[in-house]
């Protein structure tokens, strides 16, 4: 409202409408404000329509209309309104108009009050119950909102499907096609057999061999490989002697969960290769295992994370989308 007054002082319009411009203003600033209004009216001939709830401001107007409950009680100059009511001031005249408009309150008999209370309680009980009509009304209203605002409909339908596919297929804990490289310092048939055992697994994807530690560090830093296997010198000799052969496994630990899975793969592969070599050299009967345990996974035999991840994404989307739609509706209303 004060900005409108400032614009009116610059552009000098023929008509200016202000709605309670002095609300929340101290009395001194209010007098200065009205001084500007009177100057615009008298000097620049601007017709000003202004609403106020201060009687001392209403007395400064050339004509005024008294309103109550959306109805005009009377309209005239402030002095004439006071004369019509025979009041001492404008405030008493306004109170008289209010009393006349309200009229005497009808007396309600006790029995009628009880009936009204009972009807109100019955209406409240009906309102608290489930109403199919109310549900259909809300559904129809939301359908109209979506039809008028296709952006919200697109976000609610297409957005949820896109997020479901992206989060369902993108967030996975499965480790497959693991890129690895071998640094073979032994260069024997046994070390080559060990490297070929890795390349034959569906979990591993072989990359060109490593040349030295610098090559290992550079390729792992660039993300070319996630696993590096170092076969030390004398590895084949230790296997033939039956001693404890060792290898070095360098794992990319930027993702801890993935690194733990890779570590488990490497340990299992290493133990399986050692058992296979022992059986080939000593015979199948040389290794007597008192008991063997075979695991069976029910409902998800391949232990894939995707069947477990997608159902968990649905509640996450139910938490995200209502907040997004609410924010979008507020922004669209402002637009």
Cβ neighbors of 25 (< 8 A, separation 6 or more) are: 33
Give the pLDDT confidence score for residue 122 in this predicted structure. Answer: 59
Predicted pLDDT at 229: 92
Given this model, what pLDDT does residue 283 score?
A: 66
pTM for this predicted structure: 0.47
CA angle 154, 317, 143 (to 5 degrees): 40
CB-neighbour burial class of residue 286 (10 A; exposed 0-12, middle 13-18, buried 19+): exposed
pLDDT of residue 303: 73
* CA–CA dist 258, 266 (Å, integer): 12
Q: How many CB atoms lie within 10 A of CB 210?
A: 24
For residue 65, the cross-strand partners are 75
Provide the residue-wise pLDDT of the chain in tens; the chain has 335 residues.
Answer: 667 777 777 777 888 888 888 877 788 888 888 888 888 888 888 888 888 888 888 888 889 888 888 888 888 898 888 888 888 888 888 888 888 887 665 555 555 556 556 666 655 555 567 889 999 999 998 888 888 888 888 888 888 888 888 887 777 777 778 899 999 999 898 888 888 888 877 788 889 999 999 999 999 999 899 999 999 998 888 888 877 888 899 999 888 888 888 888 888 888 888 888 877 777 655 555 556 667 777 777 777 777 778 888 888 888 888 888 888 878 877 77
Tokens of 126: 């009906």
pLDDT of res. 317 = 87
Q: What is residue 42's DSSP assignment?
A: H
Residue 28 to residues 25, 34, 54, 180, Cα–Cα distance (Å): 8, 10, 14, 82
DSSP 8-state class, residue 285 = G
The continuous run of DSSP H or E covering 15 comes out as: strand 15-19
Across 185-306, where does the E strand assignment appear?
A: 204-206, 227-231, 248-251
**Neighbouring C-alpha atoms within 13 Å toward the C-beta of 298:** 0
Cross-strand pairs, 17: 49
What does the angle CA 134 – CA 139 – CA 145 come to, to the nearest 5 degrees? 130
State whether the Cα torsion 122-127-129-133 is positive or negative: positive
Domains of the chain: 2-102 (3.40.50.300), 133-172+305-335 (no CATH), 178-286 (3.40.1710.10)
Number of H helices, E strands in the chain: 14, 8
73: tokens are 């009680």
Distance CA 281, CA 43 (A): 116
């Amino acid at each position: 409202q004060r900005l409108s007054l400032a614009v009116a002082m610059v552009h000098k319009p023929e008509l200016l409408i202000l709605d309670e411009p002095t609300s929340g203003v101290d009395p001194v600033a209010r007098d200065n404000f009205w001084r500007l209004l009177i100057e615009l009216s008298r000097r620049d001939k601007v017709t000003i329509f202004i609403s106020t709830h201060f009687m001392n401001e209403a007395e400064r107007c050339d004509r005024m209309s008294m309103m109550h409950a959306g109805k005009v009680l009377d309209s005239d100059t402030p002095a004439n309104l006071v004369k019509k009511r025979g009041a001492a001031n404008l405030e008493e005249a306004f109170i008289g108009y209010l009393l006349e408009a309200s009229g005497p309150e009808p007396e309600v008999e006790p029995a009628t009050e009880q009936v009204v209370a009972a009807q109100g309680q019955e209406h409240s009980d009906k309102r608290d119950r489930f109403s199919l009509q109310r549900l259909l009304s809300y559904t129809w209203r939301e359908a109209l909102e979506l039809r008028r605002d296709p952006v919200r409909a697109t976000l609610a339908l297409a957005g949820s499907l896109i997020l479901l596919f992206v989060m369902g297929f993108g967030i996975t804990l499965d480790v497959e096609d693991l890129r690895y490289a071998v640094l073979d310092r032994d260069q024997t048939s046994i070390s080559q057999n060990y490297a070929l055992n890795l390349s034959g697994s569906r979990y591993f994807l072989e990359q060109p061999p490593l040349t030295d530690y610098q090559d290992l560090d550079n390729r792992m830093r660039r993300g070319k490989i996630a696993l590096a296997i170092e076969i030390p010198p004398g590895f084949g000799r230790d296997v033939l002697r039956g001693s404890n052969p060792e290898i070095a496994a360098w794992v990319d630990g930027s993702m801890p969960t993935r690194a733990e899975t890779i570590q488990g793969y490497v340990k299992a592969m290493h133990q399986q290769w050692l058992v296979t070599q022992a059986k080939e050299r000593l015979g199948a009967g040389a290794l007597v295992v008192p008991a063997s345990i075979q695991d069976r996974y029910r409902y998800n035999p391949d232990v894939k994370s995707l069947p477990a991840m997608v159902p968990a994404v649905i509640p996450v989307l139910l938490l995200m989308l209502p907040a997004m739609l609410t924010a979008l509706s507020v922004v669209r209303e402002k637009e």
